[in-house]
Amino acid sequence: MSEEFIRERIDELRLAINRHNSHYHQYDSPQVSDAEYDRLFRELQELEQAYPAFRTPDSPTERMGAEPLKGFDPVSHEVPMLSLDNALSDDELIAFDKRLRERLDTERIEYLAEPKLDGLAISLVYEHAILLRAATRGDGQVGENVTRNVQTIRSIPLKLNGKKIPQFIEIRGEIFMPKKGFLALNQRCRATGMKEFANPRNAAAGSLRQLDSRITATRPLDFFCYGHGVFVDQLRPKSHWKMLQLMRSWGLPVCPEGQIVQGIEACREYFQRLQEKRVALDYEIDGVVYKVDNFALQERLGFIARAPRWAIARKFPAEEALSVVADIDVQVGRTGALTPVARLRPVEVGGVTVTNATLHNADEVRRKDVRKGDTVVVRRAGDVIPEVARVVMEHRKPGASPFAMPSRCPICGSAVETVAGESTIRCSGGLACPAQHREMIKHFASRKAMDIEGLGDKRISQLIERKMIDSVADLYRLDVDRLKGLERMGRKSAENLVQAIENSKKTTLARFIHAFGLRDVGEATAQLLEQRLGSLEAIMDADEDSLMELPGIGPVVARNIRHFFDQPSNRKVTEQLVAAGITWQAVRTIKDTLHQPLAGQSFVLTGTLDSMPRDQAKQELKKLGARISASLSSKTDYLVVGDNPGSKASKALDLDVEILSEEDFLSLIR
């Protein structure tokens, strides 16, 4: 078969499969039998396997997922992914509107009101209309590259279709799991003995952060877009609403509940209406987002810190339920922090069974005066850890005694210390405290760090007690013979554990740094360090000043990092780990070159321009990558209209081609 023939067949198969997909998913009316569909799909897979040169990222076969990854690469967001300010009451919403009206000196503001979707923020980069990269929000500056997983989500187009698609655009939106899909997934988990997910948001997060995209492909994820990141300004519609309509025209799903509302009264009515509709929607929402619709006004308002001044989230009230405190325990964490935890009689709060609630710290317990036996209001807001909101004093049993934090560590008996300015009490035992020691190793082995499967609480305690490990470097010296003698450990499990430890050696620099468990250095900061400093040596040797130059790293975190790597014992363990064979790949970043902002856009010019001859105008557009054609068609993106334009202008209206005045044109080329 000639290559040309193969390519044609591949194109044909892709078209057919895409058509069947839309009939099946969008219109609910399949046009072929499952068997026929499978046959086409397999043929395409086989051809692509035999002719890898013809594989493209928009092929429907990409939806199936691929070989597992070892970790996610960090991605730096060109335009930071911001968060939203919250209005906790109607009054705060009214104050927001008043503030904006004063700044803009206007009577009434047009807002776009839409549900606050309870999922995960995602950034989708389309270059030449093809989905090239998908990244999580991370800390807003640096996220994770989850492209392989996102390609498996059916409602996210692998290729945009339609007009006025810029050569480079970043779409922002929310990935979530519909309620129905969530229930079905948990049913599947129950049937196969897997752990169930606590709520749709967790299920969505867990599914999106799968290293094996073939697993993600089996999860019912969905998506709505609500905004954009990088986008060449001049080509942008004039308002958020119009932008959403344009994105919808490209095949991107937009939440149908969004609506333009005029002024604050209408905002409140929308909130009421949506709250009533909430249970009936097939996806979880936790409030309303109000955005100033007009882009020019948004720009005038700008940003404060990490949130835009032109938008606000009004959350639905938190969900609450009554329970009884069976006991108050004190947990010792990895950094020695003592956290009081209320053990509760199990209670349903917003669809989730809660048995523990954090009491945060000694100050909080004192402030709320929570005592054993108390009836309490338990509150859960979104993905926040459940907490005890308040005690129902009328139900307090006589003789209940106030809770006091211990003066010695409940695990190792070391004295506790209070740090000036912090409400946290810490065990002073350091790694001599079995709890801290265990938590530190547990963190090192955890999924988001070195990801050593099967190394849980009990196993770690056992290994420490038997003196088989002391530092994390000792893990890499364990062998099957020594392990298989342990209680509840046969040869097979010993082999599995050794294999899991071996597998963990291939990792990413960010995971490795995160695994050390430095105070205040979480995943996002570790990724930032990897992305900006690039190598372990550079991170270990960076001084506090250069660390503080990195976005989001302040003096305290800089000092913690420096302090950690100044300890000879920490340097030694790090070196031992590297010597044991822990490796990672060099860091990659994506470059989005915007030097040809009009590439892929087709222009027609008509009439005479005041500022320059038409030929020069064409040259200017070509320099920016635009295609110029002589006649209008439905494929034309823009018509530039000068004086005495003739019939083209009216034809453009019929063809729904956007018309640019000379002024628009000049601002575009500038």
- Nearest approach in angstroms of CB 221 to ligand IVH is 14
Residue nearest to ligand IVH (CB): 121
Residue 334 three-state SS: coil
CB of residue 117 vs ligand IVH: minimum separation in angstroms?
A: 4
Residue 204 binding ligand IVH, by CB under 6 A: no
* 83 near ligand IVH, rule: CB under 6 A: yes
Structure tokens at 44: 């395409």
Nearest to 255 by CA among 239, 267, 240, 272: 240
3-class state of residue 136 by DSSP? strand
* CB nearer ligand IVH, residue 83 or residue 461: 83
Kindly identify the residues of this chain, within the stretch 97-116, that bind ligand IVH according to CB under 6 A. 114, 116
Instruction: Tell the smallest beta-carbon distance from residue 137 to ligand IVH (Å).
Output: 6
The least distance separating ligand IVH from the CB of residue 626, rounded to whole angstroms, comes to 30
Q: Please report whether residue 84 would count as binding ligand IVH according to CB under 6 A.
A: yes
Nearer to ligand IVH, 118 or 439 (CB): 118
Backbone φ, ψ for residue 224 (5° rounding):
-130, 140
Type of residue at 577 = L
Report 279-308 residues binding ligand IVH (CB under 6 A): 289, 308
Q: What are the contacts of 462-470 at 24+ separation with CB within 8 A?
A: 462/486, 462/487, 464/434, 464/437, 464/438, 469/441
Minimum distance from CB of 454 to ligand IVH (Å)?
33
Measured from the Cβ of residue 487, the count of other Cβ atoms closer than 10 Å reads: 7
Residues 207 and 143 sit within 8 Å (Cβ to Cβ): no
**Terminal C-alpha separation, the chain:** 51
**C-alpha 273 chain-centroid distance:** 28
Contact present, 597 and 232 (Cβ < 8 Å): yes
Helix/strand/coil (H/E/C) assignment for every residue in 553-622: CCHHHHHHHHHHHHCHHHHHHHHHHHHCCCEECCCCCCCCCCCCCCCCCEEEEECECCCCCHHHHHHHHH
Q: Which residue stretch of 81-89, 538-546, 599-607, 639-647 sits at the interface with ligand IVH (rule: CB under 6 A)?
A: 81-89
Residue 266 tokens, joined: 């209408």
Supply 481's token pair.
Answer: 């013979």
Positions in 331-360 near ligand IVH (CB under 6 A): none
Q: Are 232 and 595 in contact (CB under 8 A)?
A: no
Q: What's the closest the beta carbon of residue 104 comes to ligand IVH, in angstroms? A: 18
Segment interacting with ligand IVH (CB under 6 A) among 76-84, 321-329, 412-420, 633-641 = 76-84
Q: Which stretch binds ligand IVH (CB under 6 A): 80-88, 160-168, 386-394, 416-424?
A: 80-88
For residue 31, give the nearest of 22, 41, 44, 42 by alpha carbon: 22
Min dist CB 121 to ligand IVH, Å, is: 3
Choose between 114 and 170: whose C-beta lies nearer to ligand IVH: 114
User: Are the C-beta atoms of 125 and 79 separated by less than 8 Å?
Assistant: no
Nearer to ligand IVH, 117 or 391 (CB): 117
Nearer to ligand IVH, 133 or 443 (CB): 133
* Among 44, 75, 100, 121, contact with ligand IVH (rule: CB under 6 A): 121
Shortest distance, position 290 Cβ to ligand IVH, whole Å: 10
Strand 319-332 relative to strand 375-380, pairing: antiparallel
What residue spans of 410-543 are helical by DSSP H? 434-445, 457-465, 480-483, 491-503, 509-515, 523-533, 536-541
599 and 634 in contact (C-beta within 8 Å)?
no
Q: Which is nearer to ligand IVH, 14 or 291 (CB)?
A: 291
Residue 170 near residue 252 (C-beta atoms within 8 A)? no
> How many residues belong to the chain?
670
Smallest distance, Å, CB 83 to ligand IVH?
A: 4
Strand partners, 337: 426
Candidate list 158, 177, 311, 473; residue touching ligand IVH; CB under 6 A: 311
Count of CB atoms within 10 A of residue 526's CB?
A: 25
Q: Which is nearer to ligand IVH, 14 or 380 (CB)?
A: 380
Residue 157 or 308: which CB sits closer to ligand IVH?
308
**CA distance to 166, 191, 229, per residue, from 233 (Å):** 10, 51, 11
The count of chain residues that interact with ligand IVH, using the rule CB under 6 A, is: 15
Candidate list 126, 168, 223, 226; residue touching ligand IVH; CB under 6 A: 226
Helix axes 90-104, 263-277, angle to 10 degrees: 140
DSSP code at position 251:
T
Q: Which is nearer to ligand IVH, 227 or 597 (CB)?
A: 227
User: By the 8 A CB rule, do 116 and 315 touch?
Assistant: yes
Site for ligand IVH in 28-67 (CB under 6 A): none
Q: Pick the closer one to ligand IVH by CB: 305 or 586.
A: 305
**221 touches ligand IVH by CB under 6 A:** no
Q: Is 82 in the site for ligand IVH (CB under 6 A)?
A: yes
Stretch that binds ligand IVH, among 78-86, 238-246, 274-282, 385-393 (CB under 6 A): 78-86
* C-beta of 173 vs 336, nearer to ligand IVH: 173
Site for ligand IVH in 227-256 (CB under 6 A): 227
- Supply the angle between the helices 568-579 and 555-566 in degrees, to the nearest 10: 70
The helix/strand/coil state of 67 is coil
444 alpha-carbon distance from chain centroid: 23
Q: What are the catalytic residues? A: 116
Quote the least distance from Cβ 524 to ligand IVH, whole Å: 13
| Interface region with ligand IVH, contact rule CB under 6 A, candidates 82-90, 263-271, 314-322, 334-342 | 82-90
Q: How far is the CB of 178 from ligand IVH (least distance, A)?
A: 15
The span from the CA of 141 to the CA of 139, in Å, is 6
Could you say which of 137, 371, 459, 532 contacts ligand IVH (CB under 6 A)?
137
Residue numbers of the site for ligand IVH (CB under 6 A)? Answer: 82-84, 114, 116-117, 121, 137, 174, 226-227, 289, 308, 311, 313
